[in-house]
Structure 1
Amino acid sequence: MISDSYSPQQSRHVIDHFPGEENTRLGERRNNAVARALTPLLPIYADVADGGIIADKDGNRFIDFASGIAVTTVGARNPKVIAAAKEALDHFTHTNFSITPYESYVAVCEKLNEITPGNHEKRSVLLNSGAEAVENAVKIARHYTRRPSVVVFDYAYHGRTNLTMTMTAKNIPYRNGFGPLASNVFRTPMSYPLRDNLSGQEAATKAITMIDAGVGPENIACVVVEPIQGEGGFIEPAQGFLTAINQWCQDNGIVFIADEIQAGLCRTGHWFACDYEDVVPDLVTTAKGLAGGMPLSAVTGRAEIMDSPIPSGLGGTYTGNPVACAAALAALDQMAELDLCSAAQRIDNIITEELSPLLELDHVAELRGRGAMKALEFVHPDGAPDPERTAKIAAAVRDRGVLALVCGFYGNVIRMLPPLVIEEELLRDGLQVIVEEARK
């Protein structure tokens, strides 16, 4: 954190006349200028964010359990990230790496090649967004294998482009009315221990049986999986599931792609969620926390696969922007210097301690996830998803100054993604608000 006039007090506070005059005025401007599809979750407009707090100009301060959807891992005003970005701005804002390259792009690729799973020779390509990374990973896999088909899983979320929204499982709001969807994308069951009661090997066998019968491995370019699903509900597959799927891919010449966009980069207590099972993907996609809030994503993987596309076959005007690259180098250094993997594990312990008592309630089915990627699933007495209660709890904690997002295929999961630099006292305060509202 930076101690200056912009740094908000690290405590939650909601004013009596919430949301306040300035927020109301900005809301009216938004209604007249911004497309309806971008209706914000909160009726406030951020003025400054730091540590574990987002503050607005009306005096509201929210405990941030969203981190911009797992983006501000090192904090929203990390001083070293800011300094690195400012230094880069003093040199130039843009040249396009495919025309006039620069060192920071190369350095980010070198770092990603170093920290991603596996000791094999690797290459990386930098892009703008998570969806763009996933789409390019699929392009690379198709080019390498000369096969057309892509396999994804139930409950998956991979983005909002035409291909990635096809790969995404949930219709509303991501796919509804945006068709026709992309071709050659096939879905298979995900391991969901709460609901399928299967071991990792059993769930993998079920998924593979459907792939074999419905697609045929000889037609498959890649299998794309989130090691812990994000928007789908923070679903943590049973032990052995990822290992078995990865092995089947290796046996059949299929590229195994780990979408680590939300779970990667210290979020789960390891550098990558795949590390928990020692799974080594062929390709890994990263984004979100990669550049400390600046737009940057990447595909990293086996050199022979990454080098398959011809020169100029990958790229884009803004991909690997030099300011974002500088920020990424600083953010990655901060993850190591501050030992944010250990910080995520401490956050996991605190969340588990504070929220585990809720498991005695009939309407709380599960507390799951790893590190600072944890979630509560809410159900009816018969075990059916309860999105109404979930939405009510999320709104109630919001009104008390805690920003917690709803996710899950049925909208019945509250997820917690705090910055890994959040103070313990603030973390516990926000969790206790969730406990109080969940008990009502």
Structure 2
Amino acid sequence: MISAEEPVLAHNYHPLPVVVARAEGAWVEDVDGHRYLDLLAGYSALNFGHRHPALIEAAHRQLDRLTLTSRAFHNDRLAEFARRLVELTGYDMMLPMNTGAEAVESGIKLARKWAYDVKGVPADQATIVVAADNFHGRTTTIVSFSTDETARAGFGPFTPGFRIVPYNDLAALEAAIDETTAAVLIEPIQGEAGVLIPDDGYLTGVRELTRRAGCLFIADEIQSGLGRTGHTLAVGHEGVVPDAVLLGKALGGGIVPVSAVVGRREVLEVLRPGEHGSTFGGNPLAAAVGTAVVELLETGEFQSRATELGVVLREGLAGLVGRGVVGFRARGLWAGVDVDPALGTGREISERLMREGVLVKDTHGSTIRIAPPLCVTEEELRSALAALGRVLS
């Protein structure tokens, strides 16, 4: 099956050599019947596990009724989804889209429109400040402000209007903000960079700087949000309230692509009919699944599981430091693990773990990411950590 993909599928990914045919909960099964514990969870798209019964039921019910109208008409599912999502996140309004990259693009457009209509920045002069080593998506505008040459090389010319500063550096951020700044766009935790967690007080500092400068603070919570770190939103660890938050991945429950921008009314109301949209954004199937996702998060169960099992994850990784692990960063059920380069690259470690029945994904160099579904059990998590210990030894 892998060989059959080669001549007909663009080679924009380098997957691990496993062909998944079935999945449930935290487990997947390949075409030969071998089972693997999934510690990637679709880069957080599967926060609730594979085929969560409540999400599957919601999708089945909606499939029998209505799947798409486009936004040319109203549908009977979108209002409830919007209401419950803004109540969950504490905002006024939401803009529904499909993919995470679309949410980021929407956030950029909103920030620029707000800068011109509300802040009074002269036409075509708005700037957005971003952080180095970011990952916000793959569109041409988004890679324009990436510092990853693999993502950028060969895709220019690039979109202007972005200023890049070091992550976790408030002084550099303050120096980059001026009267043209529409927004500061950052990830509360940088996932693709290796689960980089800023110093305590950094997010609070970003909020204060943007408030004083009269520009927006937009948080990209596409990977970090919706329970992954133990809070509904990762900014919640510092009690910070950005002007807008970008959501995706887990919002679709691992069933359909669903993303959204949630934010203050003053920000989202700058859009007028015809200025932005998406044929599939806010479709009834996505709204039904998204509503079921919000229902799961409203209970607080998954946030609590991420907090409690995050202790198990951190303790297990701490026990491997000096035994093949040279360092790690973890928050909730999310960790970036730096392996001794002498033991192999992140890709090689991932392949060895695959042979142990555990699926993870490398990022840069000898770093692997661990992000299990939030339904993983303590026993399963400890088993995976034991497998990592065997691979490193």
TM-score by length of 1: 0.84
What residue in structure 1 maps to residue 389 of structure 2?
Answer: 435
Deviation at 1:38, TM superposition (A): 3.5
Task: For 1:154, give the aligned amino acid.
Answer: A
SS of the equivalent of 2:388 reads helix
Task: For 1:204, give the aligned amino acid.
Answer: L
Identity among equivalent pairs (%):
33
1:359-398 deviation per Cα after TM superposition (whole angstroms, max 9, x unaligned)? 234x634221211111212356xxxxx7944333222112
SS of the equivalent of 1:218 reads coil
Q: Distance in 1 between matches of 2:281 and 2:20?
A: 27
Q: Distance in 2 between matches of 1:59 and 1:44?
A: 11
1:113-150 deviation per Cα after TM superposition (whole angstroms, max 9, x unaligned)? 11225xxx611010010010011011001001124211
SS of the equivalent of 1:37 reads coil
Deviation at 1:435, TM superposition (A): 1.9
What residue in structure 1 maps to residue 314 of structure 2?
Answer: 352
1:256-314 deviation per Cα after TM superposition (whole angstroms, max 9, x unaligned)? 00000000001000000000111100010000101211100000101011001222322
What residue in structure 2 maps to residue 331 of structure 1?
Answer: 293
Please tell me whether the aligned partners of residues 232 and 297 of structure 2 are also in contact (alpha carbons under 8 angstroms). no
- Correspondence for 2:362 among 389, 403, 406: 406
Deviation at 1:223, TM superposition (A): 0.7
Task: For 1:374, give the aligned amino acid.
Answer: A
Q: Distance in 2 between matches of 1:433 and 1:135?
A: 40
Deviation at 1:338, TM superposition (A): 6.5
Q: Distance in 2 between matches of 1:179 and 1:388?
A: 33
Deviation at 1:208, TM superposition (A): 2.0
- Correspondence for 2:193 among 232, 236, 241: 232
SS of the equivalent of 1:114 reads helix
Please tell me whether the aligned partners of residues 152 and 224 of structure 1 are also in contact (alpha carbons under 8 angstroms). yes
List alignment gaps of at least 5 residues for structure 1: 1-25, 192-202, 381-385
Quickly say closer, same or farther: Cα 1:283–1:347, change in 2 above 3 A. Answer: same
Quickly say closer, same or farther: Cα 1:80–1:54, change in 2 above 3 A. Answer: same
Please tell me whether the aligned partners of residues 387 and 411 of structure 1 are also in contact (alpha carbons under 8 angstroms). no
Quickly say closer, same or farther: Cα 1:131–1:387, change in 2 above 3 A. Answer: farther
Q: Does 329-338 or 219-228 show the bigger shift?
A: 329-338
Equivalent pairs, count = 384
What residue in structure 1 maps to residue 370 of structure 2?
Answer: 416
What residue in structure 2 maps to residue 16 of structure 1?
Answer: none
Note if 1:76 corresponds to 2:46.
Answer: no
What residue in structure 2 maps to residue 275 of structure 1?
Answer: 236
SS of the equivalent of 2:61 reads helix
SS of the equivalent of 1:55 reads strand
Note if 1:256 corresponds to 2:217.
Answer: yes
Task: For 1:419, give the aligned amino acid.
Answer: P
Quickly say closer, same or farther: Cα 1:403–1:291, change in 2 above 3 A. Answer: same
Q: Distance in 2 between matches of 1:42 and 1:149?
A: 39
Please tell me whether the aligned partners of residues 131 and 159 of structure 1 are also in contact (alpha carbons under 8 angstroms). yes
Quickly say closer, same or farther: Cα 1:168–1:321, change in 2 above 3 A. Answer: farther
- Correspondence for 2:263 among 290, 296, 301: 301
Please tell me whether the aligned partners of residues 406 and 415 of structure 1 are also in contact (alpha carbons under 8 angstroms). yes
Quickly say closer, same or farther: Cα 1:72–1:124, change in 2 above 3 A. Answer: same
What residue in structure 2 maps to residue 33 of structure 1?
Answer: 8
Q: Distance in 2 between matches of 1:57 and 1:222?
A: 47
Please tell me whether the aligned partners of residues 66 and 404 of structure 1 are also in contact (alpha carbons under 8 angstroms). yes
Quickly say closer, same or farther: Cα 1:395–1:54, change in 2 above 3 A. Answer: same
Q: Distance in 2 between matches of 1:391 and 1:32?
A: 23
Deviation at 1:436, TM superposition (A): 2.0
- Correspondence for 1:103 among 73, 76, 84: 76
- Correspondence for 2:18 among 19, 44, 54: 44
Please tell me whether the aligned partners of residues 44 and 249 of structure 2 are also in contact (alpha carbons under 8 angstroms). yes
What residue in structure 1 maps to residue 379 of structure 2?
Answer: 425
Note if 1:341 corresponds to 2:291.
Answer: no
1:30-429 aligned within 5 A:
30-39=5-14, 41-97=15-71, 99-117=72-90, 122-146=92-116, 147=121, 148-172=126-150, 174-191=151-168, 203-209=169-175, 211-212=176-177, 217-293=178-254, 294-337=256-299, 339-361=301-323, 364-378=325-339, 388-407=344-363, 410-429=364-383
Task: For 2:320, give the aligned amino acid.
Answer: L
Q: Distance in 2 between matches of 1:325 and 1:387?
A: 46
Task: For 1:31, give the aligned amino acid.
Answer: E
Task: For 2:358, give the aligned amino acid.
Answer: V
Q: Distance in 2 between matches of 1:387 and 1:411?
A: 12
SS of the equivalent of 1:150 reads strand
Please tell me whether the aligned partners of residues 345 and 367 of structure 2 are also in contact (alpha carbons under 8 angstroms). no
Task: For 1:269, give the aligned amino acid.
Answer: G
Q: Distance in 2 between matches of 1:158 and 1:379?
A: 28
Please tell me whether the aligned partners of residues 88 and 298 of structure 2 are also in contact (alpha carbons under 8 angstroms). no
SS of the equivalent of 1:375 reads strand
Quickly say closer, same or farther: Cα 1:332–1:405, change in 2 above 3 A. Answer: same
